[in-house]
Amino acid sequence: MKAKLPPRTVERLSIYRRLLDKYKDLDEAHIHSHKLAALLNLTPEQVRRDLMLIGLTGNHRKGYNISALIGLIGDTIDREESQKVALAGIGNLGKAVIGFIRKSNTRMNVVAAFDIDKNKVNTRLAGVPCYEISQAGKIIHDEQIRIAILTVPPEAAAETASLLLDSGIKGILNFTSVHLDVPPHIYLKDYDIITSLEEIGFFITD
């Protein structure tokens, strides 16, 4: 299991599942590659190849069975059980992110949030317990959390990241726009809205 898949395919698989989760209750039990492609601005070939790579066989007439598809994507890209996620920095962005993940139907499970601000600790946010950042080491270790979301202010980014890594975090989603120097076995993903905006600005046509 867990064959070597192209990163782009993994990304799209996650997107297929998110889209189809909304479809699975209503109307059809099956979907065609070209329908799925049209919904996501992809090509039908791309969709078929992705599904081929995970070994899903569609019906030549009816298309792909939606619940089989969702199930197999899960078997392919999810770990055994739901994965625990920690979040550091309960500001506007942190709150939005926690709320969003909680509302989404995903196996990513935010189980702890950390902040330095005493007013924010010992509360719950969308069901997630908030702790002092000083407790992060212990909690991440005890709960075996391996993924962290970093939404602290830029000044605190480097320091907080190294604390997280010392506690056993293996992957970081970094929103701080600060470059983090992480060892090669750590999976780091940066997201910066400015980059997205500038790309849009470059490619729009009047």
Ligand X SMILES: NC(=O)c1ccc[n+]([C@@H]2O[C@H](COP(=O)([O-])OP(=O)(O)OC[C@H]3O[C@@H](n4cnc5c(N)ncnc54)[C@H](O)[C@@H]3O)[C@@H](O)[C@H]2O)c1
Partner DNA sequence: ATTCATCTGTTATTTTTTTCACATTGCAGC
Partner DNA sequence: GCTGCAATGTGAAAAAAATAACAGATGAAT
Least distance in angstroms from the C-beta of 101 to ligand X: 8
DSSP codes of every residue in 106-141: -SEEEEEEEES-TTTTT-EETTEEEEEGGGHHHHHH
Given DNA, ligand X, a second copy, none, residue 133, with its beta carbon under 5 to 8 Å by kind, binds ligand X
42 binds a second copy (CB under 8 A): no
| Alpha-carbon gap, residue 166 to 153, rounded angstroms | 20
Place of tokens 């990304």: 11
| Binding letters toward DNA, positions 39-68, x by CB under 7 A | ---xxxxx-xx-xx---xxxxxxxxx----
Dihedrals phi, psi of 149, to nearest 5 degrees: -110, 130
Q: Is the separation of the CB atoms in 172 and 198 below 8 Å? A: no
Q: Is the separation of the CB atoms in 95 and 128 below 8 Å? A: no
88 binds DNA (CB under 7 A): no
Pick between residue 72 and residue 140 the one whose CB is nearest to ligand X: 140
| Binding letters toward a second copy, positions 137-176, x by CB under 8 A | ---------xx-x--------------------xxxx---
Place of tokens 């969709």: 47
Q: How many residues in the chain? A: 206
Pick between residue 44 and residue 91 the one whose CB is nearest to DNA: 44
32 binds a second copy (CB under 8 A): no
CB atoms within 10 A of CB 157: 21
| Alpha-carbon gap, residue 143 to 111, rounded angstroms | 9
Chain residues that interact with ligand X, rule: CB under 6 A: 88-94, 96-97, 99-100, 114-117, 133, 151-154, 156, 160, 175-177, 191-193
Given a second copy, DNA, ligand X, none, residue 138, with its beta carbon under 5 to 8 Å by kind, binds none
Is 102 buried (19+), middle (13-18) or exposed (0-12) by CB count in 10 A? middle
183 binds a second copy (CB under 8 A): no
Q: Site residues (CB under 8 A) for a second copy?
A: 5, 7, 10-11, 14-15, 18-19, 39-41, 77-79, 83, 85, 91-93, 95-97, 99-101, 104, 106-108, 146-147, 149, 170-173, 177, 179, 185, 187-189, 191-206
